[in-house]
Chains A and B, each alone.
Chain A
Amino acid sequence: QKEVEQDPGPLSVPEGAIVSLNCTYSNSAFQYFMWYRQYSRKGPELLMYTYSSGNKEDGRFTAQVDKSSKYISLFIRDSQPSDSATYLCATTGRGSQGNLIFGKGTKLSVKP
């Protein structure tokens, strides 16, 4: 079983839609969760960082963590064509020295 599973997509939505991106993880020692956005041939850009169960909101983005089911989500409201990118979930925790374990990424396309 992979440590972090993420549906690779691709996911295509119309502009203005609500996007839901999801990951599952296997190790209950993981305590810190991140979402990154990566445009083609660019470096990952940190969107959200959280270390507790529940929701964290930042503008159009909401990160949700459910530690009981080992499930993390990123919601994008009022999606824009500029949101078209690959979204990576990542996690770390005690025992991993802080190095991140990534999902393979979900490729999102927002159509105008």
Chain B
Amino acid sequence: NAGVMQNPRHLVRRRGQEARLRCSPMKGHSHVYWYRQLPEEGLKFMVYLQKENIIDESGMPKERFSAEFPKEGPSILRIQQVVRGDSAAYFCASSPGQLNEQYFGPGTRLTVT
């Protein structure tokens, strides 16, 4: 059973460009969470999605960031007009249920130059 998959693993963007991060949950998991880890900081929750629904986006910046989890295909975290402060590791986790254990992917390391 494949684990949570994320791609790309590394992404370099210039300021002002768009970044698209993809996450495929574990087989049988319909709950997806996105977290961000800044250097020397802990993991911070961003958004929680189920298929075709955003359940909780309280941790997501109000501007430039959006997320989706379509009926078919991976979940996508989109960052428009990236700035240097967006440089971080972005992790996706999946779970079989809302309060079940979460399994993390390897992360996407975004570098904004």
Chain A interface (Cβ within 8 Å of chain B)?
A: 32, 34, 36, 41-46, 49, 88, 90, 92-94, 97-105
Contact = CB atoms under 8 A, between A and B. Distances in A.
A80 B38 CA distance: 28
A44 B41 CA distance: 14
B104 A99 contact: no
A13 B45 CA distance: 31
A104 B89 CA distance: 15
A92 B56 contact: no
Given A34-B101, A98-B98, A105 B91 contact: no
Contacts, number: 62
B67 to A, nearest CB: 13
B42 A104 contact: yes
Nearest to B105: A43
A97 B98 contact: yes
B101 A49 contact: yes
Contacts of B33: 98-100
A33 to B, nearest CB: 10
A104 to B, nearest CB: 4
A46 B93 CA distance: 11
A100 to B, nearest CB: 6
A94 B99 CA distance: 8
B95 interface: yes
